[in-house]
Amino acid sequence: MMTRYNSKTGHNLPNDNVRLQSNAGTALIITVIAMFIITSATVAVLFLTANALHLNGKQAAGATAFNIAESGAEIAALWLKTQPSPPDVIYAFDPFGGKQSLDGGHYQVTIYPDPDNATSYLKTFRIVSVGDVHGSTKTIEVVVKQASFGRYAYFTDKETSSIGGGAIWWKAGERVDGPVHSNNRNGSNFQINYNGSYSPIFLDIVTGAGSSITYSPRRPRDEATFKRIFADGSKGFKLGVTPIPLPESTDVQKSAAWGSSAGFPSTNGVYLRADMQGGIYIRGDAGITLSTDTDGNQKFTITQGTKTTVITLNRYTRTISTSGPMGSGSPTSATSLGTGVIYCTGHITSLKGEVADNLVVNGEIAVRSSFTIATDVNAGKTINITNNIYYRTRPDKTRDSDDYVNLAAGTLGLVAKDIIIDSTAPRNLEINAVCMAGGQNTTSGSFYVENYDSKTPTGTLTVLGGIIQKARGPVGTFNSSTGQTSTGYAKNYSYDPRLVVNPPPFYPTTGQYERLSWRLLPN
Is 68 within the bounds of a domain?
yes
Distance CA 316, CA 295 (A): 9
Distances (CA, A) of 334 to 315, 342, 488: 13, 15, 43
**Looking at the structure, do residues 301 and 237 belong to the same domain, yes or no?**
yes
**pLDDT at residue number 27:** 66
Mean pLDDT for 421-428 is 95
Phi/psi at 49 (5° precision) = -65, -45
- The burial of 235, by beta-carbon neighbours within 10 Å (0-12 exposed, 13-18 middle, 19 or more buried), is given as exposed
Mean confidence (pLDDT) of the chain: 89
**pLDDT tens-digit profile of 104-161?**
999 999 999 999 888 787 899 999 999 999 889 999 999 999 888 888 999 999 988 8
Is 175 within the bounds of a domain?
no
Maximum alpha-carbon separation in the chain: 156
Last residue of a domain, one of 100, 115, 134: 134
Is 176 within the bounds of a domain?
no
- The burial of 100, by beta-carbon neighbours within 10 Å (0-12 exposed, 13-18 middle, 19 or more buried), is given as middle
In this structure, are strands 213-216 and 105-113 parallel, antiparallel, or unpaired? unpaired
Is 168 within the bounds of a domain?
no
**Looking at the structure, do residues 108 and 219 belong to the same domain, yes or no?**
no
Last residue of a domain, one of 104, 134, 164: 134
Residue 18 has pLDDT above 80, yes or no: no
**Looking at the structure, do residues 107 and 192 belong to the same domain, yes or no?**
no
**Looking at the structure, do residues 191 and 87 belong to the same domain, yes or no?**
no
Domain count, the chain: 2
**Looking at the structure, do residues 386 and 247 belong to the same domain, yes or no?**
yes
**pLDDT at residue number 440:** 87
Distance CA 213, CA 234 (A): 12
**Domain assignment of residue 490, given as a range:** 186-519
Residue 446 has pLDDT above 90, yes or no: yes
- The burial of 311, by beta-carbon neighbours within 10 Å (0-12 exposed, 13-18 middle, 19 or more buried), is given as buried
Contact between 373 and 412 under an 8 Å Cβ cutoff? The reply is yes
For residue 185, give the DSSP letter: G
**pLDDT at residue number 415:** 97
**pLDDT tens-digit profile of 248-289?**
888 999 999 999 999 999 999 999 988 878 899 999 999 999
**pLDDT at residue number 7:** 52
**pLDDT at residue number 4:** 52
Is 141 within the bounds of a domain?
no
Is 328 within the bounds of a domain?
yes
Distances (CA, A) of 63 to 52, 131, 139, 158: 16, 10, 12, 44
Mean pLDDT for 185-195 is 89
Mean pLDDT for 327-355 is 94
**Looking at the structure, do residues 379 and 474 belong to the same domain, yes or no?**
yes
Residue 10 has pLDDT above 90, yes or no: no
Residue 316 has pLDDT above 50, yes or no: yes
Contact between 370 and 505 under an 8 Å Cβ cutoff? The reply is yes
**pLDDT tens-digit profile of 210-227?**
999 999 999 999 999 999
**pLDDT at residue number 1:** 45
**pLDDT at residue number 209:** 93
Residue 36 has pLDDT above 80, yes or no: no
**pLDDT at residue number 84:** 78
Distance CA 353, CA 154 (A): 23
Cross-strand pairs, 429: 461
Which is more confidently placed, 99 or 187?
99
**pLDDT at residue number 35:** 73
- Give the pTM: 0.81
Q: What percent of the chain has pLDDT over 90?
A: 69
Q: What percent of the chain has pLDDT over 70?
A: 90
**pLDDT at residue number 57:** 55
**Looking at the structure, do residues 391 and 296 belong to the same domain, yes or no?**
yes
Residue 454 has pLDDT above 80, yes or no: yes
**pLDDT at residue number 22:** 60
Is 426 within the bounds of a domain?
yes
Last residue of a domain, one of 92, 115, 134: 134
**Looking at the structure, do residues 382 and 445 belong to the same domain, yes or no?**
yes
Indicate the pLDDT class of residue 312, thresholds 50, 70 and 90. Answer: very high
Is 143 within the bounds of a domain?
no
**Looking at the structure, do residues 309 and 232 belong to the same domain, yes or no?**
yes
Distance CA 65, CA 106 (A): 8
**Looking at the structure, do residues 208 and 129 belong to the same domain, yes or no?**
no
**Looking at the structure, do residues 129 and 275 belong to the same domain, yes or no?**
no
Distances (CA, A) of 418 to 115, 351, 379: 37, 13, 11
**pLDDT at residue number 275:** 80
**Looking at the structure, do residues 337 and 428 belong to the same domain, yes or no?**
yes
Which of 16-20, 181-185, 288-292, 417-421 has the lowest average pLDDT?
16-20
